[in-house]
Structure 1
Amino acid sequence: MTGVGGGSSKPHPPPSPCEELPWRDLPEDNEDNFNFIKYYQPRNKDASHLRILLHGPVGAGKSSFINSVESVLRDQITNQALTDATSGSSFTLKYKTYKIEKDVDTYYPVVFNDIMGFEENTSTGVQVEDVILAIRGHVKENHKFNPVSPLTEEDPDYKPNPSLDDKVHILVCVVPADSVPLLNTAKVQKLRRVRVAASELGIPQVAILTKVDEACPEVKKDVNNIYKSKYLKQQVEQFSVLLGIPINCIFLIKNYESEINTSGDINRPILTALKQMVTYGEDYLNS
């Protein structure tokens, strides 16, 4: 075939699944972000810790993220928050606070709460009302969620006068990267209802898209491609449109799942996201 200039034209190569340069920069090493977490203390004297609540669909990787953060901070693979890859329903049934050990008998002043996941069926999974009550600090530790009936003020597990420590200081929505296009209207509405409730309270929100290695073959080959992947960038943009969360508040994460040792490359995006969560939560504590 002859082109306009008389030369032969060649077929265009398929577009690269990765950008040449990352569309979001990560630090070259983990020292600054690690030290930020290591030396963090809430400036508000009424708060002994910063509370992060994770919510999202069943199987999103909420418990795995807690384990991954602990693995990073302790430099060893841990499994404090129990997970289950085969049940197909929420493995987290109770409201539980997870603390991460810093030194002997001391803990990081950042705590996590995992919560039962959302499901399509209204009679299964956590009720939106229960998530909102947890955000407000009204859910007692070890409360067992009832998928059919949300917590009421008459329930013994209802905390009527929550302290600042009981309340959530930052809300994190967790969704698998490859399931963003599959989120149905019912799940999106549940996520948005929680987001609106948190917004009305002034609580900051971020999102993490997990299982990036399962979503993108290039990331499976090399986790350093996480912010070069065109596909993952599209999922971030689509998720931002669905929930209204700004793109700079959505982070890509590969949790520790099959690994038996920690890796600086896996740690880097986890620490970057964690630092922003703590930064936003600290702003809320001092607002």
Structure 2
Amino acid sequence: MYFSRNNARDLQYVQDYEPENDDIKHVRILLYGPVGVGKSSFVNSVSNVLRGRMTTPALASSTTSDKSFTTRYETHKIKKGRGKSKTYYPFVFNDIMGLEKGDGVRPDDIILALKGHVKEGYTFNPASSLSEGDPGYNPDPSLEDKVHVLVCVLSANAAEITDSVLQKMAEIRKLASKLGIPQMAIGTNIDLACPETEKDLKNVYKSKHLKKKVKDFSAAVGIPVNCIFPVKNYSDEIDMNDDIDSLILSALRKMIDFGDDFIDK
């Protein structure tokens, strides 16, 4: 692995991307993972990078809580350009309620979301899964409603993932594999996990601690090491930062590539 400083190239790639399938106007990227790992913050960080300023398309919690801040199924689009003409990038994010021990989003609901059966604005109910006939159930999903790439979000600074959450993740991954949906992961909070990386983000791929974390993630969730991308979300910054942008763009580019490959099939 190496640290890419070629932000302009990656940014241009993302800006130029268009799905080749005429029936699909955008790649749908579903983010899932334990509570408080920075799923909503990642959406905001992508928006910041692409718009070149601080933005808040997805409301995010300012604390690492043991309860999910996101409760509804929402599609986050990122505006392209400025002014009155509202155009959007041809990829969207769905940020989903976090997985919790004995609570949180139910794997069945994530599986329904993968197939496009969850309607926009549906509020997740930890006590019972969405079912056919419910107002939040989409009985006839289009190709655009379906998920094209599944992204597991984990925190490099979190304690070990509990067995019950790992079991839920395994269920989700198994079905996504059956559906042929490509999967990858991002590791957030790399600066909090490693003092060397906090000093200088360029140390991310030199850090032995983070290398071990990536290997541990891979063993725990079954995603290959070369499909796990370290990122730092924008959190306390008030200005844009090239090193943060570089990691975000690298992960985003891979999401688009994976989603595009799936659409081509």
* Structure-2-length-normalised TM-score: 0.96
Choose the corresponding residue for 1:51, options 28, 44, 47: 28
Q: How does 1:241-280 map to 2 (within 5 A)?
A: 241-280=219-258
Shift of 1:184: 1.5
Choose the corresponding residue for 1:215, options 193, 216, 219: 193
1:164 equivalent to 2:147? Answer: no
Matched residue, 1:79: 56
1:102 equivalent to 2:83? Answer: no
Secondary structure of residue in 2 paired with 1:163: coil
Deviations 1:214-268 (A, max 9, x none): 1001111111111111100001011111111111100000000000111111100
Shift of 1:69: 0.2
Query: C-alpha separation between the residues in 2 aligned to 1:205 and 1:230?
Result: 25
Shift of 1:186: 0.6
Choose the corresponding residue for 2:183, options 205, 222, 226: 205
Q: How does 1:218-229 map to 2 (within 5 A)?
A: 218-229=196-207
Contact 2:48/2:54 (8 A) holds in 1: yes
Q: Cα RMSD between the aligned structures?
A: 0.9
Shift of 1:28: 2.5
Query: C-alpha separation between the residues in 1 aligned to 2:32 and 2:118?
Result: 15
Choose the corresponding residue for 1:67, options 17, 24, 44: 44
Q: How does 1:135-214 map to 2 (within 5 A)?
A: 135-179=114-158, 182-214=160-192
Shift of 1:61: 0.3
Query: C-alpha separation between the residues in 2 aligned to 1:70 and 1:227?
Result: 24
Opposite residue 231 of structure 1, the aligned amino acid is: H
Secondary structure of residue in 1 paired with 2:157: helix
Contact 1:26/1:272 (8 A) holds in 2: no
Opposite residue 45 of structure 2, the aligned amino acid is: S
Contact 1:128/1:194 (8 A) holds in 2: yes
Matched residue, 1:134: 113
Query: C-alpha separation between the residues in 2 aligned to 1:218 and 1:284?
Result: 37
Matched residue, 1:281: 259
Contact 2:34/2:99 (8 A) holds in 1: yes
Contact 2:3/2:202 (8 A) holds in 1: no
Query: C-alpha separation between the residues in 2 aligned to 1:259 and 1:28?
Result: 20
Query: C-alpha separation between the residues in 1 aligned to 2:5 and 2:239?
Result: 20
Structure 1: 5+ residue stretches without partners: 1-23
Matched residue, 1:9: none
Shift of 1:25: 1.2
Secondary structure of residue in 1 paired with 2:50: helix
Query: C-alpha separation between the residues in 1 aligned to 2:149 and 2:36?
Result: 21
Opposite residue 7 of structure 2, the aligned amino acid is: N
Shift of 1:47: 0.3
Secondary structure of residue in 2 paired with 1:174: strand
1:27 equivalent to 2:8? Answer: no
Pick which of 53-62 and 185-194 moved more: 185-194
Deviations 1:88-126 (A, max 9, x none): 3101010000000002310000100000000012xx210
Secondary structure of residue in 2 paired with 1:269: helix
Contact 1:126/1:146 (8 A) holds in 2: yes
Secondary structure of residue in 1 paired with 2:31: strand
Matched residue, 1:17: none
Query: C-alpha separation between the residues in 2 aligned to 1:252 and 1:65?
Result: 12
Query: C-alpha separation between the residues in 2 aligned to 1:77 and 1:225?
Result: 25
Contact 1:59/1:85 (8 A) holds in 2: no
Contact 1:52/1:112 (8 A) holds in 2: yes
Secondary structure of residue in 2 paired with 1:173: strand
Contact 1:214/1:220 (8 A) holds in 2: yes
Among the aligned pairs, what percent are the same residue? 51
* Count of aligned residue pairs for this structure pair: 261
Secondary structure of residue in 2 paired with 1:91: coil
